[in-house]
Amino acid sequence: MTIITENKNDRVMIFIDISNTDHMMMNIGLKRAFLDYEELVKILLGERRLTAAYIFDSCVPESPRRNYHHALAQKGFRMDIRECKEGVTCQKEVDVAMARRMIVAACDNLYDVAIVVSGDRDFVPAVDEVQLRGKKVEVVSFRDFASTSLIKMADKFTNMDNLMIVNTSRCECPRFILEDEDIEFIVSEGPLGFANMFLNSMMEAVA
pLDDT in tens, 134-186: 999 999 998 888 999 999 999 999 998 877 665 434 434 333 333 333 333 33
First to last CA, the chain: 44
| Structural contact between residues 36 and 167, judged by C-beta atoms closer than 8 angstroms | yes
pLDDT at 31: 52
User: What is the distance of C-alpha 180 from the center of its chain?
Assistant: 25
Q: Is pLDDT at 11 greater than 80 in this prediction?
A: yes
pLDDT confidence of 54, banded at 50, 70, 90?
very high
Domain boundaries, the chain: 11-163
**Of 44, 139, 54, 60, which Cα lies nearest the Cα of 98?**
54
Q: Does domain 11-163 have CATH number 3.40.50.1010?
A: yes
- Per residue in 59-76, pLDDT (tens digit) is 777 777 788 888 889 999
Average per-residue pLDDT in the chain? 77
Return the sign of the alpha-carbon dihedral for residues 202, 203, 204, 207. Answer: positive
For the whole model, what pTM was predicted? 0.76
pLDDT at 42: 92
